[in-house]
């Protein structure tokens, strides 16, 4: 699945390492993965990155920032804890944050609970006795994951968010850890590019479920670009063969992260709607499978309780001509096919005689 969330009651360090190695990340007291994002009405790929620690050395500019900051400020690295001082800093940071953020630091890290299943450390930066920056990171057995960094907007010029990441990496180097996971970057959306400043990171490649140098990631191989290009080829082929498919973006692809029921929700960011039986609320949809580098046909139906997952204002904010805004579950998956032409032939052989699909 492209979007998935687990709810562990306990999590051993080795288990956290395993999750991180598969491109997962902490969300409150849960752990999740997603590979696509929707900001406004624009879609992007979420590309998970990590920094190999062995053999790593800070760049000159990073060393200079650390030295300068340690002369100006006091730094403490210790077991993470939430207190009134950090909540006050969080509120100030939240007031200048551009985007959606949890109401409180406790909500962000603990989902409002009093327990923490993660081994969380903190980096706290003080100007005299004043807390001006703080970050939290989780330790596994052989890796660490940076979770959140907050800072006083009055100290914006001091690059405190970047500094806390460098100090977290220093901690990892001193512990002899293998990997540091800062989360995801978003090609085409520069807000997350600061994570690339830490060095030569690797990215999680969906095609082979492994890690590759980020500098080698070509634009056409970014997951969303790959999907968009392949569905365009399929649409072109199907139109040539007499079908009338329509491309839609699907903003509800993260239902797996929010759903109350365990269901096989449709979690692709883009689809090619082949046909719909509106009487039966059934939809025949073609998607591109990144891992298999193949096309797949899915039969889907509407999940009625859309309002449990997404509010009405959000749903109505999208243009229904470009965005498919009905919550779908997958009823049946057909076999993978390797090419657009093969998919067209499969559709003709399987459904051309089916009056219920109107072919």
Contacts of 101 (CB under 8 A, 6+ apart): 94, 108
- CA-based nearest residue to 206, from 38, 52, 17, 47: 47
**Spatial distance between the Cα atoms of 98 and 274, rounded to a whole number of angstroms:** 39
Tens of pLDDT, residues 238-287: 999 999 999 999 999 988 787 656 678 899 999 999 987 766 688 999 99
213 and 277 in a common domain:
no
What is the DSSP code string of 102-154? -SSHHHHHHTT-S--SS-EEEEEEEETTEEEEEEEEEE-SSEEEEEEEEE-GG
The whole domain housing 259 covers 223-357
pLDDT at residue 355, rounded to an integer: 46
88 and 191 in a common domain:
yes
What is the DSSP code string of 160-200? HHHHHHHHHHHHHHHHT-SEEEEEEE-TT-GGGGGGGGGSS
Q: Is 281 exposed, middle or buried (0-12, 13-18, 19+ CB in 10 A)?
A: middle
Cβ-count burial 96-121 (b if 16+ within 10 Å, e if not): eeeeeeeebbbebbbeeeeebbbbbb
pLDDT at residue 259, rounded to an integer: 61
The domain boundary residue, chosen from 201, 217, 233 = 217
Tens of pLDDT, residues 198-234: 999 999 999 889 999 999 999 999 999 999 999 999 9
Band (pLDDT 50/70/90 cuts) for residue 330 is: very high
- CA-based nearest residue to 70, from 150, 147, 174, 158: 158
pTM: 0.90
37 and 85 in a common domain:
yes
334 and 264 in a common domain:
yes
pLDDT at residue 358, rounded to an integer: 47
312 and 191 in a common domain:
no
Tens of pLDDT, residues 1-56: 688 889 999 999 999 999 999 999 999 999 999 999 999 889 999 999 999 999 99
**Spatial distance between the Cα atoms of 219 and 187, rounded to a whole number of angstroms:** 8
The domain boundary residue, chosen from 183, 217, 251 = 217
32 and 137 in a common domain:
yes
**Domain tally, the chain:** 2
72 and 23 in a common domain:
yes
The domain boundary residue, chosen from 217, 234, 266 = 217
Order of all β-strands in the sheet with 294-302:
246-249, 270-277, 282-289, 294-302, 328-333
- CA-based nearest residue to 174, from 323, 53, 58, 81: 53
Tens of pLDDT, residues 199-208: 999 999 998 8
174 and 114 in a common domain:
yes
């Amino acid at each position: 699945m492209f979007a998935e969330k687990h709810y562990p009651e306990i999590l051993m360090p080795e288990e956290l390492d395993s999750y991180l190695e598969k491109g997962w990340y902490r969300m409150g007291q849960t752990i999740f993965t997603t590979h696509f994002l929707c900001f406004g009405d624009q879609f992007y790929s979420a590309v998970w990155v990590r920094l190999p620690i062995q053999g790593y050395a800070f760049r000159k500019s990073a060393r200079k920032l650390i030295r300068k900051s340690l002369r100006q400020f006091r730094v403490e690295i210790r077991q993470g804890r939430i207190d009134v001082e950090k909540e006050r800093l969080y509120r100030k940071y939240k007031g200048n944050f551009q985007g959606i953020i949890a109401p409180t630091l406790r909500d962000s890290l603990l989902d409002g609970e009093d327990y923490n299943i993660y081994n969380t450390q903190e980096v706290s930066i003080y100007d005299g006795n004043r807390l001006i920056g703080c970050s939290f990171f989780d330790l596994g057995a052989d890796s660490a994951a940076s979770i959140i960094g907050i800072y006083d907007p009055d100290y914006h010029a001091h690059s405190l968010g970047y500094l806390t990441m460098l100090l977290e990496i220093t901690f990892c180097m001193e512990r002899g850890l293998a990997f540091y996971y800062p989360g995801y970057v978003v090609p085409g959306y520069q807000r997350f590019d600061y994570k690339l400043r830490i060095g030569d990171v690797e990215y999680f490649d969906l095609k082979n479920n492994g890690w590759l140098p980020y500098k080698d990631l070509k634009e056409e191989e970014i997951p969303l670009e790959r999907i968009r290009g392949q569905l365009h080829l399929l649409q072109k082929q199907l139109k040539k063969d007499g079908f009338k498919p329509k491309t839609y973006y699907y903003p509800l692809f993260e239902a797996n992260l929010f759903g109350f029921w365990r269901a096989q929700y449709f979690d692709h960011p883009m689809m090619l709607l082949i046909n719909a039986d509106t009487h039966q609320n059934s939809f025949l949809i073609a998607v591109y499978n990144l891992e298999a580098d193949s096309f797949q046909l899915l039969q889907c139906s509407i999940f009625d309780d859309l309002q449990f997952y997404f509010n009405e204002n959000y749903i109505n904010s999208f243009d229904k001509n470009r965005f498919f805004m009905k919550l779908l579950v997958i009823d049946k998956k057909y076999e993978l096919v390797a090419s657009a032409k093969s998919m067209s032939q499969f559709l003709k052989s399987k459904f051309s005689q089916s009056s219920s699909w109107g072919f």
